[in-house]
């Protein structure tokens, strides 16, 4: 059996859980929700016909229902199955396939509802004048950026000294040139 999981504080505990469930090879990574997932790709390339891809939880595998369905199709195309330990779900059976689709849809629905509530809350706070957004920290440092650039420091040196990103320094530099 092959396994994959990503972005977790308890990677070692999950590895133990996967090995206890029979995983021969473990692919692990901790990346942001938008980063490329090289270890997931490696696991999907590694699996062969008759293998089972083990994951501890559904949210360790897929970021959306579309993502989940694409992964399931790739696993299926290789003649392998998917098993999610926390749900005791195995796609080698028709019932497992049905349950995975339903659970994935419910998870996506919950996320959409949460995002909708978040947008409503922000709109309400803006209407009440209580929501201003994130403070533009780099823009407040524009005079210091201009001064350091005029002293001949590089964009990277200015960014490091002021604790802002290089792209922020570049944006302030462009604004200086346009003025």
pLDDT one-digit tens code per residue, 16-39: 888 888 888 988 887 766 678 889
pLDDT score of 58 more than 60: yes
DSSP string, 12-24: HHHHHHHHHTT-S
Cα within 13 Å of Cα(52), Cβ side: 18
Query: For position 5, what pLDDT does the model report?
Result: 47
Do residues 75 and 44 touch, judged by C-beta distance below 8 A?
A: yes
Which residue carries 């083990």 as its tokens?
54
pTM of the model: 0.54
Compute how many other C-beta atoms are within 10 angstroms of the C-beta atom of residue 42: 14
pLDDT score of 6 more than 50: no
Q: Report which of 28, 31, 116, 102 is spatially closest to residue 68, judged by C-alpha positions.
A: 102
Q: Extract the tokens encoding 147.
A: 């001064």
Residue 37 falls in which region: left (phi positive, over 0), alpha (psi -120 to 50) or beta: beta
What's the pLDDT tens digit per position in 77-110? 999 999 999 888 898 888 988 888 887 788 778 8
Do residues 65 and 105 touch, judged by C-beta distance below 8 A?
A: yes
Q: What mean pLDDT value characterizes the chain?
A: 85
Q: Which H or E element spans position 67?
A: helix 65-77
Query: For position 118, what pLDDT does the model report?
Result: 92
Q: What is the mean pLDDT of residues 55-82?
A: 87
């Amino acid at each position: 059996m092959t396994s994959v999981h990503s972005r977790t504080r308890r990677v070692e505990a999950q590895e133990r859980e996967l090995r206890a469930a029979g995983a021969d090879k473990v692919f692990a990574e901790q990346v942001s929700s938008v980063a490329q997932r090289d270890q997931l790709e490696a696991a999907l390339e590694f699996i062969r016909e008759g293998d089972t891809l083990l994951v501890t939880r559904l949210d360790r595998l897929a970021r959306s229902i579309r993502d989940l369905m694409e992964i399931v199709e790739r696993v299926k195309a290789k003649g392998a199955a998917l098993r999610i330990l926390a749900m005791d779900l195995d796609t080698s059976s028709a019932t497992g396939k049905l349950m995975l689709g339903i659970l994935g849809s419910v998870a996506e629905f919950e996320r959409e509802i949460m995002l909708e509530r978040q947008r409503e809350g922000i709109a309400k706070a803006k209407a009440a004048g209580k929501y201003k957004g994130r403070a533009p920290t780099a823009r407040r440092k524009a005079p210091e950026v201009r001064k350091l650039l005029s002293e001949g420091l590089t964009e990277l040196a200015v960014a490091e000294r002021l604790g802002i990103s290089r792209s922020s320094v570049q944006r302030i530099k462009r604004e200086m040139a346009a003025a």
